[in-house]
Each structure stands twice: as structure tokens, then as C-alpha cells.
A and B are shown apart, each in its own frame.
Chain A
Amino acid sequence: MRITKHPILDFNRGKKITFQYKGQEITAYQGETIAAALYAAGIRVLKKSNKYKRPRGLFCAIGNCASCYMVVNGVFHVKTCITKVKEGMVVEEETEKGDIID
């Protein structure tokens, strides 16, 4: 849920854009990170742990912990809490480690 009125802060949101998540179209604002945009859309589970497939979501939101890894445009292990969302991006839940790409 996005805040519209705040006693101290003004949120000057950027241009509206859309991206794909699990085949769903999600609306975001330019300047938001992928995790923030998903969060605003009510999506809390970003990945599953490798071994036990336990759901994982945001934890630190500053790139310290790796709890927000997702597959972005086919690339695994993208820290979505510090990666900005872009028009047309394809974002998927990460459920395994992935392979090295060249």
C-alpha cells in the first residue's frame, strides 16, 4: 500500500511504468526498486529457500542479506531491494540457485 499523505514527507513519485511478475502485470513508479514495487502490490514472498523451499521476503532492504534474490530477465540472484524497476522487466520468484551465464 502506498502512502499518499504523510505529516513530514512528500513523495514525488516518478513516471508510471509496468513490469511482469509471474505473468501478471504490475504497475510501479520509476525510481522504485523491484522489491518496493512488488511490496506495494501486496506481494511479500520474493523467493523460496534453496533446500527447504521456505518462503522468503525482504529483510534488510539495503543489499546486505540476500533474502530478496529474484530472477530478473533470466538472471538469477538479483538483489531486488537495491535494483530499480524498469519498464517491461520480467521478474520471477527464485526457487533454486540458477546457473552461471556468459
Chain B
Amino acid sequence: MILLINTDLLVIGGGPAGMTAALKAAKRKAEVIIVERYHELGGQLTKQTHRFFGSKSEQAGTRGIDIARGLTKEIQNMSEIKVLTEATAQGYYEDKIVTVSYQNKFRKIRAKRIIIATGASEKMMLFENNDLPGVYGAGAIQTLMNLYGILPGKKVIMVGAGNIGLIVSYQLLQAGVEVKAVIEADSEIGGYLVHASKIRRTGVPIYTGHSVKSAIGESSVKGAEIIKLDENWQMITGTERFIKADTICLAVGLRPLVSLLIQADCAMVYVPELGGDVPIRDENLKTTNDQIFVAGDAAGIEEATAAMLEGEIAGLKAASEIGYLSEDVVEETRRLKRELKKLRGGPIGRKIRRGLSKVRGDDNVKKNRYSHLR
């Protein structure tokens, strides 16, 4: 049994960012291993049944699941890429080795370069009984419903009126589930108007300036007490209201999944615009650890087209550093960066631009949030 596997490039996470990174490097003849925790590639895309927004001409308007299928097929046709599924990267060690639990077996991988594309995890929200079965992250509801065809419940309260909350509400309605209300703490709806009006047209109320005070139920959710908030997001006593439901769905944001990056001693900085702690990196997505790149939601919560472009940039750069040079690298990298810039231009990209301005520069490296661990 081979315990230690050597490769040119290790890609951790097989979502859109990881998949495009692997493809880009493999097309330059680099030998690539992708480790993916789940039993298939695709990441978040495998659950997205709606047509995608985003400005990259060829992918916008395509359903997420179809983008995932296309990329997966391309990867299967590349002999340079080896895919390990049900393979979770567990740790990064000082001798630059990544340990992986692969279908319940222990493996070590040594790679010349590593691209970390682990995506994000959902944020939790504080309220009484928030651990009761029946309180789910929006992603869990999508997994149950869109991957396994299992209804999460009969009556759902959606918390969060950003794009994810609105899209998942719509997907619930499509599957025949009653959405009792969408609750949003902010005084405005955060998601795109198209999504909000789709929900409103079906008669589902969207309560802005509201939050959940507690979940009600013994062994699982029977309802929730919702409450009005003042302009400082403080609960206004006396405005409690009970809504009967068997499911509370939290769509209150995502946080980059960065534990491996912290372990690998990549300098980190807290950037609320990007969802939390993110690694400092240069414009090729290289972190402060020379072996490691980052791409996609792990670098900051954004969307799939940005994740794919970042993956491509990182994949290309990693392959060149390993020694797989090709004439078009400079031109191709420039094109990708231009596309990314275009994508982030305009008013919708403002928050991302502000966030990104905080992840570069030497000052930040000195301020590494985790330097006390060293």
C-alpha cells in the first residue's frame, strides 16, 4: 500500500474553483490530484437548480448543476488529473505534507504546489433553542431536496432575505413546500429584486426588521417566535409573534473555510466584506506560504463565476511555478484577470472591491490574526 503519494499539484476541494484550477494546470501537463470530501465533484454547484447570474457570457443563464456536470466530464477526460472522492484533507504539516482520510484510509500527499479551494461553511445564528432538530442551514435544505429528493419539512420559516434565502425559498416552493415567511433583520432586502419579486408574487410575506427570538418544540421544531427589531437591531419587547412551522432555515451568510490555511501558517486578515478571516494573497492568489494558493469562496465569499476565474488564475500560475511553462501564459493570465475585474466592476461588486483592497500589502502580513499561535 502506498501511504505517501507524490504529485505536482494538489487541489483541495472539488467545487468550481478547484475544478477549473485542476483543468488549467493539467492542460499545461502538470500532474494533478483533486481531493474532494463528498462522493462527487461540483461543490455548491451540484445543488443549484436555478439559472446562474453572473456576467461570464458562456456560463450565465446555465443551471449550476449543468456547469458542474460539464466540468466533471472534462476532468474525467484528462489523464493528468486523478480525482479522490470521499477524501477529506485533514491537516497540513511542517514538512509540507497534507494528510488525507480517503474512504476511511489514511494517506499522505506531497505536492510541489497546493491550491486550497475548500469553499465556505454556513453561519449560525444566536437564538433560544437554535440547536433543535429542524433548524437547518440553507445548504442542508438544498442537499436534502435537490440532491436526494427529500422534503425537509412541510412548513418552513426562512431566515435571511439575501440571494441564498430568496433562491432557496423559491426552490422550496417549487418542491411543493409551504414557505410561511421570510424573516430579515435588515430594514431592506439584501438579495436581487428579481428573486424577491418572484417570492412575493407567490404570496409569501417578507418581514424586514425582524428576527427569530426562539425556536419552539421539544424534540424538533414546532414553530418559532419572531420579533421586531429597532434600527440598532435590538429586539422590541412586546412585538413577539408565533409562527407555526416544522422547519427553520438559516440563510444568514457564509464564512470562508480556512482552517487548513491557518494551519499552513498563511497570514490571515479579518475582512467582513469577504465573510470573515481570509488569507492575504497576491493577485495570482498566492498566499504568504510559497507552496500554497487559494481560490473561490475560501478566499472570500463571492460567487461561482469569480470562483472559476480565480481557480484558473491559480492553476495557471501554479503550473508555471512547477515548471510547466507555455508561451501563452502571460497573455492568458492577463485575460483572466481582465475578466475578473470586469465581473467585479459596477455597483454590485463594490463590497467585494472594498474587501479585496484589505487583503493585500505588507502591513497586513504584520497584522496576521493568528501570529500568536506561532
Q: Which residues of A contact B (CB under 8 A)?
A: 1-4, 6-9, 11, 13, 32-33, 36, 39-40, 44-46, 49, 54-65, 67, 81-82, 84
Contact = CB atoms under 8 A, between A and B. Distances in A.
Given A7-B174, A63-B88, 5 more contacts: A6-B175, A8-B174, A55-B133, A60-B122, A81-B140
Given A1-B150, A55-B220, A61-B143, A82 B37 contact: yes
Nearest to A47: B133
B131 A56 contact: yes
B145 A3 contact: yes
A36 B150 contact: yes
A53 B150 CA distance: 27
Contacts of A46: 133
Interface in B255-310: 257
B214 interface: no
Interface residues of B, number: 34
Contacts of B150: 1-3, 36, 39-40
10 contacts: A2-B150, A7-B174, A39-B152, A45-B133, A54-B131, A55-B219, A61-B136, A62-B139, A64-B121, A64-B257
B149 A2 contact: yes
A59 to B, nearest CB: 6
A63 B38 CA distance: 9
A33 B133 contact: no
A8 B49 contact: yes
Given A6-B149, A61-B137, A65-B121, A36 B144 contact: yes
Contact of A32 (B121, B122, B148): B148
A68 to B, nearest CB: 9
Contact of A11 (B86, B139, B149): B149
Nearest to B220: A44
A54 B49 CA distance: 35
B365 to A, nearest CB: 28
A62 B137 CA distance: 10
A67 B135 CA distance: 11
Contacts of B137: 59-61, 65
B65 to A, nearest CB: 8
A40 to B, nearest CB: 5
A45 B220 contact: yes
A15 B5 CA distance: 35
A2 B144 CA distance: 10
A33 B219 CA distance: 22
